[in-house]
Structure 1
């Protein structure tokens, strides 16, 4: 018996972290950023998929953020998929990149309005799900196509991610499953009676619809950072150089959710990109953060000694 990432692991059949019935899904979509958490997630997923005999159902997807992400990220994600012999897909927003999109909108995203995630990750990945449904139908599948969407989100990363369930149904108004149907009826009843729709009755705007049933699994949700690095070390996968340069996470180079210290270190490592963000900030008249401008980040980066490691991502 051993504790790992806050979970109690019992060396007995039937005990331990719950794993979905992987064989019940037509496709298993692994979202990878190239960072440590998705590396650990992919290793864990491959382990369970191999045991279930469904390794060939995994499709690895990387949402390409273009100039906003660290150099070599897309290539590293492809390398991680190839390491296990898995199918690899790259998706991206149609049209302008993230930096150009910020200028078009005249504002940076923030914690309350993370349109960067919906526009550049969730939306493009859903287009891939649509394509996978068509592939299944072309191969003779009938009825809803079951898809398991797998991500490397961890509870330790933020209060919002701490509230996520390790396994959930990605429901929607058009999904015909029993749970979504029940929620839809509760919503309609509340609306007929002129009452606010209770939170537990809302179906959400998930990826499921009449053609596909999508569930979400977070295999490393309860893992600690130490657990993640142990799994990465054991996997043999190469890590991105940004980590050895001191960055605690591999997100956008300049993420609006990052800590001041992480942003300062990023500016030291990518001064040209920082200058590009500062110029953008000046043009649109909107600060990178309400309490912190890119110009301030650059000034602090130039005045501060280089650090070997940033202590935290947020705060």
Structure 2
């Protein structure tokens, strides 16, 4: 395998950490970019005489992933003689997270903790699928596994992939992957590598690409049906029989929630032939219900929509009457059981929520005034919901 040193991009900070034999952890998904990254970093470490720990890390998303992804990651690690660490988020896999999120959002709507019904899916601007299921579990695993050591967390992103990734730095400090007092960094080691170089480099190593590429025509490998996938990749993924079960499960959530996987694009339309006739009918009904739900919620006055600190004012009787009508319509359309369906109870609920928010604010102020550690204390992850806190977004 021929190695081009220009494949690797470094910074003085990364070079210094490598020279000190810091832990090197390379995140791998089974896709070609992470595959090329692992190969290139391994050769670079060998070339500079790095003797510190080396591990590959895979964040397993469960049944939402291609079935071949984890085995491909193990194959890559075995090929180089690296240990593979597999991390998983708590409370089920990625599909479970979407299902639980929908259940929680229905409860929030029923209890008037939000004025609009909230979708179950992650989105481009709200990628909790990455933050909750990849970034946080990986950081936690590295911190626990390598206490008292400096750690470099390597990611195989490339500038060529997107405009946002083109702006990313080669490296940046990352205190989340190390214990207190140690130095951590995120390193985009192959950020300047080109796609043509990626493929030829992997093939030259003697490894094969993920079958999603070679047998089904995928351009990117992530979840089997990613919320950011192109139409072509969604269609390509659906050609693999091993992805049909998760396809049907995701379409079922589209139907139950009346929210399409992607904005204006229903996963169920990709391969309706894979669905039972009753599911095809239910999908068409879900589309109709989605239009009715959106039309109803479009009537909510702008001053009643979510802003930071919501709710910031108690609605007038007229506003509460309108919201009661809209909530009743949405509940009937989607098939939900909700509370606070009349103007009086809605006004009471807003007053209750505002009093609760004021009480919490006073409690925080008291802690900040009397606790020297307050500005830097950490909130346990179980107390947070990075998807939307208690309010809509």
Is TM more than 0.5 here?
A: yes
User: CA–CA distance in 1 between the matches of 2:23 and 2:160?
Assistant: 28
Structure that is richer in strand per residue: 1
Counterpart in the other structure of 1:96: 92
Structure that is richer in helix per residue: 2
SS, match of residue 289 in structure 1: coil
SS, match of residue 148 in structure 1: strand
Counterpart in the other structure of 2:33: 37
1:224 to 194, 210, 214: 194
Counterpart in the other structure of 1:201: none
Matched, 1:111 2:124: yes
Counterpart in the other structure of 1:132: 145
User: What stretches of structure 2 of length at least 5 have no aligned partner?
Assistant: 103-119, 276-393
Measured at CA, do residues 298 and 211 of structure 1 come closer, stay the same or move farther in structure 2, by a change above 3 Å?
Answer: farther
SS, match of residue 128 in structure 1: helix
User: What stretches of structure 1 of length at least 5 have no aligned partner?
Assistant: 10-15, 138-144, 172-205, 303-315
Cα deviation 1:143-166 (Å, max 9, x = unaligned): xx3111111111111222111111
2:174 to 165, 170, 175: 170
Measured at CA, do residues 68 and 251 of structure 1 come closer, stay the same or move farther in structure 2, by a change above 3 Å?
Answer: same
Structure with more contact order per residue of length (Cα contacts < 8 Å, sep ≥ 6): 1
Counterpart in the other structure of 2:76: 80
Counterpart in the other structure of 2:231: 260
2:256 to 264, 268, 283: 283
User: CA–CA distance in 2 between the matches of 1:301 and 1:165?
Assistant: 43
Matched, 1:210 2:206: no
Measured at CA, do residues 123 and 91 of structure 1 come closer, stay the same or move farther in structure 2, by a change above 3 Å?
Answer: same
Measured at CA, do residues 123 and 278 of structure 1 come closer, stay the same or move farther in structure 2, by a change above 3 Å?
Answer: same
- Report deviation, 1:233: 1.1
In the alignment of these two chains, the number of paired residues is 247
User: CA–CA distance in 2 between the matches of 1:159 and 1:101?
Assistant: 29
Cα deviation 1:29-56 (Å, max 9, x = unaligned): 1111111101110111011111222255
Select the structure of larger CA radius of gyration. Answer: 2
Counterpart in the other structure of 2:333: none
**Which structure 1 residue ranges, 4+ long, deviate > 4 Å from structure 2?**
206-209
Measured at CA, do residues 64 and 55 of structure 1 come closer, stay the same or move farther in structure 2, by a change above 3 Å?
Answer: farther
**TM score, norm. by length of structure 2:** 0.59
SS, match of residue 270 in structure 2: helix
User: CA–CA distance in 2 between the matches of 1:23 and 1:127?
Assistant: 24
Measured at CA, do residues 86 and 285 of structure 1 come closer, stay the same or move farther in structure 2, by a change above 3 Å?
Answer: same
Cα pair 1:39 1:237 within 8 Å, conserved? no
SS, match of residue 149 in structure 1: strand
SS, match of residue 130 in structure 1: helix
- Report deviation, 1:25: 4.2
Measured at CA, do residues 55 and 254 of structure 1 come closer, stay the same or move farther in structure 2, by a change above 3 Å?
Answer: farther
SS, match of residue 150 in structure 2: strand
User: CA–CA distance in 2 between the matches of 1:17 and 1:214?
Assistant: 17
Matched, 1:18 2:10: yes
Cα pair 1:32 1:62 within 8 Å, conserved? yes
SS, match of residue 228 in structure 1: helix
Cα pair 1:46 1:55 within 8 Å, conserved? no
- Report deviation, 1:208: 5.5
Cα pair 2:139 2:177 within 8 Å, conserved? yes
